[in-house]
Structure 1
């Protein structure tokens, strides 16, 4: 596993880069793609980085393969060429890219490790997903696996892997079992984090490079916060 930061220019942490792919460590508050806020998206920041580093004239191609919620931190993969974009999309669709998340939550779950199965229904009016124990109209099945990694004084560190990729899935499912993520006011935590983040971090990713066929395994450095640091104490 690699936690090496190969570039940290203009608050952009680049963790891996070759001719085909670039992997960055997203900060809390960054949006991956443009939205109605009009704020500059991470995709444009990465384009600027490529344009500057390689002295590229004109427009820079960058394909967005997946997203992270705005208050979430961690690994985001972008395609640097139109050739590799559909190959990365296929890896995600076939679940051949393994992603691991870390979450700091309130309350210890009943089980040290478990598989959670819910049906999530998104409400576009408040941009929130509700988790149900049975299928309801317009809901989608959501499956995740969690394991307790460490118990801190007031929080519990969970390691989470997903079988499905639903809207706010980790946030909604953990809240439903009484373990809301630290700072996540939308899903029941009682106060916000100072930087408006939630303590959910896309920590690890591994896959076979779709062009070079090398095994890629990357860890995203944790946010600079004493509570995250305590996870290694």
Structure 2
């Protein structure tokens, strides 16, 4: 079977825990072919982000266009964008791409470091309108106006519950034309959660690229993320990376 071609538009994490590095591991372990358009480079580790340098928007688009023109795309995953110019350029590009889009509206790293300014966040609305699914965590959903506000705009989104409190984690899918659908699971008590959002979004994109419907893609992704958390190697003194490479589905 031909592997689904997944175009990842996101930032690089020098420590390998999140961003492009987590995305590539996830897509590969789920049987996809990962292609990348890097939006920014970061100096970071499990303790935080020490530096960020966004790439020119033209170079981000050039990377993506090279993949689209030659290899083709079955699904797109968007993560950290880095600047409002990149956000607008990516939206312009994806208007011409006929493939499912999963948008992870990255604003803050697991360590608490800010990865998107107000102007960049303001540009998210256009991408959310284009996306098959947007995957905000609790603080991101709040910054975007809350579940009711997004639902009223017709946005399809998965409200992730990993940042909420309590022993049970709840993820809820909202979308036009159907009632909210929730999944619950026992919370895994661990500090090794760096890259969970990136991994979830990339796993969903890979499922969609392989032909799964949205609900099945989300269920597969939730299973993969939990398995990757349980397989975390324990690296670093802070929020350590997951163990995507150790997952056997």
TM over 0.5: no
**Normalising by the residue count of structure 2, what TM-score does the alignment of the two structures yield?**
0.29
Q: Which has the higher strand share?
A: 1
Q: Kindly name which structure, 1 or 2, has the bigger radius of gyration based on alpha carbons.
A: 1
